[in-house]
Amino acid sequence: MLRVTALSVRFRRHDGGHSQPLSGLDLTLARGEVVGLVGGSGAGKSLVAEALMGLLPRNAEVSGQITLAGQPLARGQLALAPQGIDALDPLTRLGDQIRRFARLAGQPPPDVTACLARLGLPAPAARAFPHQLSGGMAKRALIATALATGAGFLIADEPTLGLDPETADRILALLAGLAAEGHGVCVISHDLPRLIAIAGRVTILQEGRMVETAQAQEFTGGQLRHPFSRALWSAQTWTGADLPC
Ligand SMILES: Nc1ncnc2c1ncn2[C@@H]1O[C@H](COP(=O)(O)OP(=O)(O)OP(=O)(O)O)[C@@H](O)[C@H]1O
Protein backbone atom coordinates (compact mmCIF):
# COMPACT_ATOMS: atom_id res chain seq x y z
CA MET A 1 0.00 0.00 0.00
CA LEU A 2 1.30 3.43 -1.00
CA ARG A 3 0.40 5.81 1.80
CA VAL A 4 0.67 9.58 1.63
CA THR A 5 0.07 11.44 4.88
CA ALA A 6 -0.17 15.21 5.40
CA LEU A 7 1.63 16.02 2.15
CA SER A 8 2.31 19.75 1.88
CA VAL A 9 4.34 21.81 -0.59
CA ARG A 10 5.72 25.26 0.08
CA PHE A 11 7.76 27.38 -2.33
CA ARG A 12 10.33 29.90 -1.11
CA ARG A 13 10.14 33.11 -3.07
CA HIS A 14 13.01 35.44 -3.98
CA ASP A 15 11.56 38.17 -1.73
CA GLY A 16 11.99 35.90 1.30
CA GLY A 17 8.29 35.05 1.50
CA HIS A 18 6.68 31.80 0.54
CA SER A 19 3.57 30.37 -1.08
CA GLN A 20 1.90 27.15 -0.01
CA PRO A 21 -0.14 25.67 -2.87
CA LEU A 22 -0.65 22.26 -1.22
CA SER A 23 -1.54 21.49 2.41
CA GLY A 24 -2.21 18.28 4.26
CA LEU A 25 -3.08 15.80 1.53
CA ASP A 26 -3.79 12.22 2.61
CA LEU A 27 -3.99 9.50 -0.01
CA THR A 28 -3.72 5.74 -0.13
CA LEU A 29 -3.25 3.57 -3.19
CA ALA A 30 -3.16 -0.20 -3.22
CA ARG A 31 -2.05 -2.51 -6.01
CA GLY A 32 -5.03 -3.48 -8.12
CA GLU A 33 -6.96 -0.27 -7.65
CA VAL A 34 -7.50 3.01 -9.46
CA VAL A 35 -7.77 6.13 -7.33
CA GLY A 36 -8.76 9.47 -8.81
CA LEU A 37 -7.48 12.92 -7.94
CA VAL A 38 -9.61 15.84 -9.07
CA GLY A 39 -10.00 19.55 -8.45
CA GLY A 40 -10.22 22.85 -10.22
CA SER A 41 -7.43 24.28 -12.30
CA GLY A 42 -4.50 25.20 -10.06
CA ALA A 43 -5.83 23.08 -7.17
CA GLY A 44 -2.46 21.34 -6.79
CA LYS A 45 -3.06 18.04 -8.58
CA SER A 46 0.14 18.06 -10.64
CA LEU A 47 2.05 19.26 -7.59
CA VAL A 48 1.00 16.09 -5.78
CA ALA A 49 2.44 14.02 -8.64
CA GLU A 50 5.64 16.06 -8.79
CA ALA A 51 6.11 15.95 -5.02
CA LEU A 52 5.64 12.17 -4.91
CA MET A 53 8.11 11.78 -7.78
CA GLY A 54 10.67 14.16 -6.24
CA LEU A 55 10.51 16.39 -9.30
CA LEU A 56 9.94 19.77 -7.67
CA PRO A 57 12.54 22.56 -7.98
CA ARG A 58 15.04 23.37 -5.25
CA ASN A 59 12.96 26.17 -3.75
CA ALA A 60 10.20 23.67 -2.93
CA GLU A 61 9.83 22.38 0.62
CA VAL A 62 7.91 19.11 0.72
CA SER A 63 6.66 17.81 4.06
CA GLY A 64 4.60 14.81 5.08
CA GLN A 65 5.13 11.06 4.88
CA ILE A 66 5.24 8.99 1.70
CA THR A 67 5.59 5.29 2.39
CA LEU A 68 5.20 2.04 0.52
CA ALA A 69 4.50 -1.03 2.65
CA GLY A 70 5.53 1.01 5.69
CA GLN A 71 8.95 2.02 4.28
CA PRO A 72 9.87 5.39 2.76
CA LEU A 73 8.99 5.35 -0.94
CA ALA A 74 12.11 4.53 -2.93
CA ARG A 75 13.15 5.63 -6.39
CA GLY A 76 11.71 3.38 -9.09
CA GLN A 77 8.64 2.26 -7.14
CA LEU A 78 6.38 4.97 -8.56
CA ALA A 79 6.28 6.21 -12.15
CA LEU A 80 4.61 9.25 -13.68
CA ALA A 81 2.97 9.69 -17.06
CA PRO A 82 3.07 13.50 -17.07
CA GLN A 83 0.34 15.79 -18.32
CA GLY A 84 2.20 17.35 -21.22
CA ILE A 85 3.31 15.38 -24.24
CA ASP A 86 6.28 17.73 -24.38
CA ALA A 87 7.70 15.46 -21.66
CA LEU A 88 8.64 13.15 -24.53
CA ASP A 89 12.09 13.85 -25.97
CA PRO A 90 11.36 15.47 -29.35
CA LEU A 91 14.64 14.27 -30.89
CA THR A 92 14.46 10.62 -29.92
CA ARG A 93 12.41 7.87 -31.51
CA LEU A 94 9.76 6.42 -29.20
CA GLY A 95 11.34 2.96 -29.07
CA ASP A 96 14.64 4.45 -27.93
CA GLN A 97 12.84 6.51 -25.29
CA ILE A 98 11.18 3.39 -23.90
CA ARG A 99 14.58 1.64 -23.80
CA ARG A 100 16.11 4.66 -22.07
CA PHE A 101 13.46 4.73 -19.34
CA ALA A 102 13.99 1.02 -18.71
CA ARG A 103 17.79 1.42 -18.63
CA LEU A 104 17.68 4.40 -16.24
CA ALA A 105 15.41 2.40 -13.93
CA GLY A 106 17.86 -0.51 -13.95
CA GLN A 107 15.51 -2.76 -15.91
CA PRO A 108 16.66 -5.27 -18.54
CA PRO A 109 16.23 -4.14 -22.18
CA PRO A 110 12.48 -4.22 -22.84
CA ASP A 111 10.62 -5.83 -25.72
CA VAL A 112 9.57 -2.50 -27.23
CA THR A 113 6.97 -4.03 -29.54
CA ALA A 114 5.32 -5.71 -26.57
CA CYS A 115 5.46 -2.46 -24.55
CA LEU A 116 3.72 -0.64 -27.39
CA ALA A 117 1.16 -3.40 -27.97
CA ARG A 118 0.25 -3.34 -24.28
CA LEU A 119 -0.88 0.27 -24.82
CA GLY A 120 -2.57 -0.51 -28.12
CA LEU A 121 0.18 1.17 -30.13
CA PRO A 122 1.34 -0.39 -33.41
CA ALA A 123 4.90 -1.72 -33.75
CA PRO A 124 5.97 0.99 -36.27
CA ALA A 125 5.38 3.63 -33.57
CA ALA A 126 8.74 2.55 -32.16
CA ARG A 127 10.45 4.39 -35.02
CA ALA A 128 8.30 7.52 -34.74
CA PHE A 129 9.45 10.82 -33.28
CA PRO A 130 6.94 12.42 -30.87
CA HIS A 131 5.75 14.98 -33.44
CA GLN A 132 4.72 12.10 -35.70
CA LEU A 133 2.28 10.72 -33.09
CA SER A 134 -1.36 11.73 -32.72
CA GLY A 135 -2.40 13.26 -29.37
CA GLY A 136 -3.91 9.96 -28.24
CA MET A 137 -0.84 7.98 -29.32
CA ALA A 138 1.44 10.43 -27.50
CA LYS A 139 -0.60 10.10 -24.30
CA ARG A 140 -0.25 6.33 -24.55
CA ALA A 141 3.46 6.72 -25.31
CA LEU A 142 3.87 8.63 -22.03
CA ILE A 143 2.24 5.74 -20.19
CA ALA A 144 4.48 3.27 -22.06
CA THR A 145 7.63 5.12 -20.94
CA ALA A 146 6.38 5.18 -17.34
CA LEU A 147 5.64 1.44 -17.41
CA ALA A 148 9.08 0.72 -18.87
CA THR A 149 10.52 1.66 -15.48
CA GLY A 150 8.93 -1.46 -14.01
CA ALA A 151 7.34 0.57 -11.20
CA GLY A 152 4.35 -1.07 -9.53
CA PHE A 153 2.59 2.24 -8.94
CA LEU A 154 1.69 4.73 -11.64
CA ILE A 155 0.37 8.28 -11.68
CA ALA A 156 -1.27 9.38 -14.92
CA ASP A 157 -1.65 13.15 -15.00
CA GLU A 158 -4.56 14.18 -17.23
CA PRO A 159 -4.20 11.15 -19.52
CA THR A 160 -7.31 12.09 -21.52
CA LEU A 161 -6.93 15.86 -21.77
CA GLY A 162 -7.70 17.10 -25.28
CA LEU A 163 -8.69 13.70 -26.62
CA ASP A 164 -11.92 12.72 -28.36
CA PRO A 165 -14.36 10.72 -26.18
CA GLU A 166 -13.59 7.40 -27.86
CA THR A 167 -9.82 7.76 -27.41
CA ALA A 168 -10.32 9.01 -23.84
CA ASP A 169 -12.40 5.92 -23.05
CA ARG A 170 -9.76 3.67 -24.59
CA ILE A 171 -6.97 5.21 -22.50
CA LEU A 172 -8.95 4.98 -19.27
CA ALA A 173 -9.78 1.36 -20.07
CA LEU A 174 -6.03 0.75 -20.51
CA LEU A 175 -5.33 2.28 -17.11
CA ALA A 176 -8.08 0.17 -15.53
CA GLY A 177 -6.49 -2.85 -17.21
CA LEU A 178 -3.13 -2.01 -15.64
CA ALA A 179 -4.78 -1.93 -12.22
CA ALA A 180 -6.42 -5.28 -12.97
CA GLU A 181 -2.92 -6.62 -13.76
CA GLY A 182 -1.79 -5.54 -10.29
CA HIS A 183 -0.57 -1.97 -10.62
CA GLY A 184 -1.73 0.75 -8.27
CA VAL A 185 -2.93 3.56 -10.54
CA CYS A 186 -3.65 7.16 -9.56
CA VAL A 187 -5.40 9.14 -12.28
CA ILE A 188 -5.44 12.93 -12.17
CA SER A 189 -8.28 14.21 -14.31
CA HIS A 190 -10.80 16.94 -14.92
CA ASP A 191 -13.13 14.40 -16.48
CA LEU A 192 -15.03 13.20 -13.40
CA PRO A 193 -17.80 11.23 -15.14
CA ARG A 194 -15.21 9.14 -17.02
CA LEU A 195 -12.96 8.88 -14.00
CA ILE A 196 -15.58 7.39 -11.70
CA ALA A 197 -16.21 4.68 -14.30
CA ILE A 198 -12.77 3.23 -13.45
CA ALA A 199 -11.81 4.64 -10.03
CA GLY A 200 -13.01 3.12 -6.78
CA ARG A 201 -12.30 6.29 -4.81
CA VAL A 202 -11.71 9.89 -5.77
CA THR A 203 -9.89 12.51 -3.71
CA ILE A 204 -11.10 16.06 -4.28
CA LEU A 205 -8.78 19.03 -3.94
CA GLN A 206 -9.89 22.62 -3.62
CA GLU A 207 -7.20 25.29 -3.76
CA GLY A 208 -4.51 23.01 -2.39
CA ARG A 209 -6.62 21.41 0.31
CA MET A 210 -8.27 18.03 0.30
CA VAL A 211 -11.99 18.44 0.87
CA GLU A 212 -12.94 14.76 0.85
CA THR A 213 -12.26 11.32 -0.56
CA ALA A 214 -15.46 9.86 -1.97
CA GLN A 215 -16.37 6.41 -3.23
CA ALA A 216 -17.28 6.44 -6.93
CA GLN A 217 -20.90 5.58 -6.17
CA GLU A 218 -21.21 8.57 -3.84
CA PHE A 219 -21.00 10.85 -6.88
CA THR A 220 -23.87 9.22 -8.73
CA GLY A 221 -25.82 8.55 -5.53
CA GLY A 222 -25.87 12.21 -4.45
CA GLN A 223 -23.95 11.39 -1.25
CA LEU A 224 -21.00 13.77 -1.58
CA ARG A 225 -20.36 15.50 1.73
CA HIS A 226 -18.57 18.70 0.76
CA PRO A 227 -20.30 21.54 -1.14
CA PHE A 228 -17.27 21.94 -3.41
CA SER A 229 -17.42 18.26 -4.40
CA ARG A 230 -21.11 18.60 -5.19
CA ALA A 231 -20.48 21.75 -7.23
CA LEU A 232 -17.65 20.05 -9.15
CA TRP A 233 -19.85 17.06 -9.90
CA SER A 234 -22.91 19.05 -10.94
CA ALA A 235 -20.78 21.34 -13.14
CA GLN A 236 -19.60 18.28 -15.07
CA THR A 237 -22.91 16.51 -15.32
CA TRP A 238 -25.10 19.53 -16.01
CA THR A 239 -26.98 18.94 -19.22
CA GLY A 240 -28.52 22.35 -19.73
CA ALA A 241 -32.00 20.79 -19.58
CA ASP A 242 -33.22 23.51 -17.21
CA LEU A 243 -32.01 26.33 -19.40
CA PRO A 244 -34.94 28.54 -20.47
CA CYS A 245 -35.23 28.61 -24.24
N1 LIG B 1 7.50 25.70 -9.25
C2 LIG B 1 6.49 26.37 -8.71
N3 LIG B 1 6.71 27.49 -7.98
C4 LIG B 1 5.68 28.15 -7.40
N5 LIG B 1 4.38 27.79 -7.51
C6 LIG B 1 4.11 26.68 -8.23
C7 LIG B 1 5.13 25.92 -8.87
N8 LIG B 1 4.55 24.87 -9.51
C9 LIG B 1 3.23 24.99 -9.29
N10 LIG B 1 2.97 26.07 -8.52
C11 LIG B 1 1.65 26.54 -8.10
O12 LIG B 1 0.95 25.48 -7.49
C13 LIG B 1 -0.44 25.61 -7.76
C14 LIG B 1 -0.99 24.28 -8.22
O15 LIG B 1 -0.44 23.97 -9.49
P16 LIG B 1 -0.74 22.59 -10.21
O17 LIG B 1 0.02 22.59 -11.49
O18 LIG B 1 -0.49 21.47 -9.27
O19 LIG B 1 -2.30 22.70 -10.48
P20 LIG B 1 -3.27 21.62 -11.11
O21 LIG B 1 -4.32 21.32 -10.10
O22 LIG B 1 -2.51 20.48 -11.67
O23 LIG B 1 -3.92 22.51 -12.27
P24 LIG B 1 -4.37 22.13 -13.79
O25 LIG B 1 -5.61 21.31 -13.65
O26 LIG B 1 -4.65 23.48 -14.38
O27 LIG B 1 -3.23 21.41 -14.44
C28 LIG B 1 -0.60 26.73 -8.78
O29 LIG B 1 -1.05 27.89 -8.11
C30 LIG B 1 0.80 26.94 -9.29
O31 LIG B 1 1.04 28.27 -9.64
> Residue 50 belongs to a domain with what CATH number?
3.40.50.300
Q: Provide the b/e sequence for 189-209 (b: ≥16 CB within 10 Å).
A: bbbbebbbebbebbbbbbebb
Q: Would you say residue 2 lies in a domain?
A: no
Contact 224, 214 (CB under 8 A): yes
Q: How many separate domains does the chain show?
A: 1
Predicted TM-score (pTM) of the model is: 0.93
Establish if 209 belongs to a structural domain: yes
- For 86-140, write each residue's pLDDT tens digit: 999 999 999 999 999 999 999 999 999 999 998 889 999 999 999 999 989 999 9
Prediction ipTM score: 0.97
Ligand 1: residue of 10, 23, 46, 62 to mutate (most ligand atoms within 8 A of CB) is 46
Residue nearest to atom 28 of ligand 1 (CA): 42
pLDDT, tens digit, for every residue of 138-158? 999 999 999 999 999 999 999
Query: d(Cα 9, Cα 23) in Å, to the nearest integer?
Result: 7
Ligand 1 centroid distance, CA of 208 (Å): 9
What beta strand segments (E) does the chain contain? 2-12, 18-29, 34-39, 60-68, 71-72, 78-81, 153-157, 184-188, 201-206, 209-215
Q: Tell me, yes or no, whether 99 lies in a domain.
A: yes
Owning domain of residue 139: 31-56+75-236
Is 117 inside any structural domain?
yes
